[in-house]
Every structure is written in C-alpha cells, then in structure tokens.
C-alpha cells in the first residue's frame, strides 16, 4: 500500500535484516504476551505505488456502500458476540475513477486524496485484487469462529470508499477490531511484512487517544501470528526488524475510534515477495495468520 490513504513519511534507514532471529523473537513475544500459539505516494526507497499496472478486473458499477458479511448464518464459536471490520485496501475500479479518488478529504492532520489505485506486481497482479482475496478468506475464517464480519467494500462499489468513510464504517459498526489489508509497493530487495499502528493524534476531528494502546496490542498479536503461520519475516526496510510501524498520516487510522491497524503483507515490487503474494496457498496462510492474531486479541 504505501499509497492508499497515503503520502508516506520520510524514508527511514533500514536496519540490517536478521530474518530468522527477528521472526522467531517476534513470534515468541506474541506467544508470551497473548498465548496466541494455540489460537487460531512514493514508497520508501523504491518505486512509486502506481496505478499504471493495476489489474484488468473491474468492479460492478453499483452496489451497497459496504458489505456487512457473507450472508451466511453466524456460527457459534470463541468470537461469538464480537464484531470485526475488514478493510480491503483500494478497489479494482479506482483506476477508472481518477477524478473521484483524487478529491481530498480531511484526515485530522490535514487533507488527503479520497483513495488511490494501489500498487501491483511487475506482472500486473493488482494490490486491489490481492486485498479482496485475502479479506474474503479472512472473513470466512473469522465467521467460522462466530464473529460478525463487515467489509468496507467487497468489489461491490465502482470505486473507494474514501479513507474517511472506511474509518467511519468501523466506527459505526462498533467494531471490536478493524484490520486494513494491503501490500506494499517498495523497491526490489525490500521484503517482508509490517503492521502499521496509529500514532497519538488529536485535532481536526481526529482523536486516537483511546485506541493507541489497544491498537498496538492488536498489531503485536497479528504480527506474531503472521510470522508463525506464514513463515514470512518482518520487513527488512521499515520498522527496525520489529514488523511494527507507527504513523500519523493515515486517515484510516487517525479517524478511527475503535482499535485498528493496517497490515502490509509483503512488497509486490520484489520478485520473491511477489511469488508469495500471487500464491493462493500463501494468501490462505496470510488470512489465517491475521485471523489468529485478531482472535487472540479479542479473547484476551
């Protein structure tokens, strides 16, 4: 993603990658913290997160503003009574609605574009396709555990929603947790995932003071489980090998009043990461890693 809602913060010096130890350490930290082992703009240092290679898929030209769930009766399980909002980043139709997505909305710390097109692999697999696929898999996993799941969009809108509406959907649902699913568009050689946490922001209609702490816990649990389930390492180019990054320039986080994080599942512009992101088997693991992190957070 490093685009969506986004003008990025200045690039940070990359810490030297310690793949095995960082991944193991983060997973162990999560397990210690939560007992989760048994629970289910330009990119920094790289290519712009552009629309040029977005996928050929199109969204239908009409549909409700948000898909509340799969429509199936809810199962009873460990997450019964909990509401999770999944926010699939971007929209396959954004590329056809540049005027609408370039309109600017307030994000608390300023104003930003309504949305962006997202990035894509060099072969043209669009982030917007990836995010929908992982989000749908994640919805199924969470509903099987009894959660009520709301998607901010399910390929049922011509574009968007705008970043302020994405936040509002989570708020109005009274979500116990919100996860925005993305993939990055950084430089070749930059690999791994990272989870973006909300910074303390007050003003301009934004107030994250009540969600900073629980959002960090949500992010830590997702990161630890993502390592454990997918085998992917934390980012080697952002987050100092922790897999965590805190930002105040994202409207989807600034405007949230419920615990919320973004996850960049990998770098679409790196061929090794792209091979994972385009694998259906790996995307299922990614969804499971996120689901187990969310489940661990909600059962704490």
| Cis previous bond, 161, omega within 30 | yes
CB atoms within 10 A of CB 254: 30
Give the span between the Cα atoms of 159 and 20, in whole angstroms.
40
The token pair that represents 3 in the structure block: 């685009």
CB-based contact 251:5 (threshold 8 Å): yes
CB-based contact 103:114 (threshold 8 Å): yes
Residue 73: which region, alpha, beta or left (left: phi > 0; alpha: psi -120 to 50)? beta
Give the span between the Cα atoms of 288 and 39, in whole angstroms.
10
Strands 104-106 and 83-88: unpaired
CA 28 to chain centre: 22
Options 113, 143, 165, 264, the catalytic residue: 264
Known active-site residue 264: yes
Please, which residues have CB within 8 angstroms of residue 24's CB and are 6 or more apart in sequence? 227
14 DSSP 8-state letter: P
Catalytic residues: 264
């Amino acid at each position: 993603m490093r685009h969506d809602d986004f003008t990025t913060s200045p690039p940070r010096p990359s810490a030297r990658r310690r793949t095995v130890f960082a991944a193991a350490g983060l997973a162990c930290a999560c397990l210690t913290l939560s007992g989760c082992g048994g629970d289910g703009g330009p990119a920094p240092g790289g290519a712009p997160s552009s629309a040029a290679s977005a996928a050929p898929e199109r969204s239908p030209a009409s549909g409700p503003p948000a898909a509340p769930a799969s429509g199936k009766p809810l199962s009873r399980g460990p997450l019964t009574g909990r509401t999770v909002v999944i926010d699939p980043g971007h929209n396959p139709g954004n590329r056809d609605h540049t005027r609408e997505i370039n309109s600017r909305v307030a994000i608390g710390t300023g104003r930003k574009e309504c949305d962006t097109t997202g990035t894509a692999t060099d072969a043209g697999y669009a982030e917007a396709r990836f995010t929908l696929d992982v989000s749908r898999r994640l919805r199924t996993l969470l509903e099987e555990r009894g959660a009520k799941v709301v998607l901010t969009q399910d390929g049922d809108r011509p574009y968007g929603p705008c970043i302020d509406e994405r936040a509002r959907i989570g708020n109005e649902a009274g979500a116990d947790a919100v996860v925005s699913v993305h993939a990055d568009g950084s430089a070749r050689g930059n690999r791994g995932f990272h989870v973006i946490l909300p910074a303390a922001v007050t003003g301009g209609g934004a107030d994250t003071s009540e969600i900073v702490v629980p959002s960090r816990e949500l992010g830590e649990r997702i990161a630890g489980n993502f390592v454990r389930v997918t085998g992917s390492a934390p980012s080697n180019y952002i987050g100092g090998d922790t897999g965590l990054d805190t930002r105040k320039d994202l409207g989807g986080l600034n405007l949230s009043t419920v615990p919320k994080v973004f996850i960049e599942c990998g770098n679409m512009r790196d061929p090794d990461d792209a091979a994972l992101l385009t694998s259906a088997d790996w995307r299922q693991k990614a969804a499971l890693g996120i689901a187990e992190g969310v489940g661990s957070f909600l059962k704490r």
